[in-house]
């Protein structure tokens, strides 16, 4: 069994309030969870309007598959356009 844990730091330039930010983050989390079957949560900067860090966990039987899923999640966020990725940290557990 392989477990990859990732942290993706985001900037939400269009967010003007916590409500705006939470709508975007909630939507991203639901879409990521539904499309990629991974665990996802906001883990840092919960009280800032334009910053967020989401944590992603991928469990798989093969490392290449887990890495591919994580890469697709990052690509998905980039294509979404509502948040800019500032940093990505991925480590196996």
With b for 16 or more beta-carbon neighbours within 10 A and e for fewer, the 24-55 pattern comes to bbeebbeebeeeeebebebeebeeeebbbbbe
Number of domains in the chain: 1
93 pLDDT more than 80: no
Angle, vertex CA 63, rays to CA 1 and CA 5, nearest 5: 80
46 vs 60, higher pLDDT: 60
80 pLDDT more than 80: yes
Query: What backbone phi and psi angles, to 5 degrees, belong to 42?
Result: -80, 125
Arithmetic mean of pLDDT, 42-52: 92
Range of the domain at 37: 2-92
CATH number at residue 47: 3.30.70.1120
pTM, rounded to two decimals:
0.88
């Amino acid at each position: 069994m392989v477990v990859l844990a990732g942290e993706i730091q985001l900037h939400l330039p269009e967010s003007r309030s916590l409500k705006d930010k939470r709508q975007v983050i909630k939507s991203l989390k639901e879409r990521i969870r539904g499309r990629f079957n991974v665990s996802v949560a906001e883990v840092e900067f919960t009280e800032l309007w334009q910053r967020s860090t989401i944590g992603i966990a991928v469990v798989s039987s093969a490392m290449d598959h887990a890495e591919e899923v994580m890469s697709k999640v990052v690509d998905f966020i980039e294509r979404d356009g509502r948040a800019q990725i500032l940093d990505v940290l991925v480590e196996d557990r």
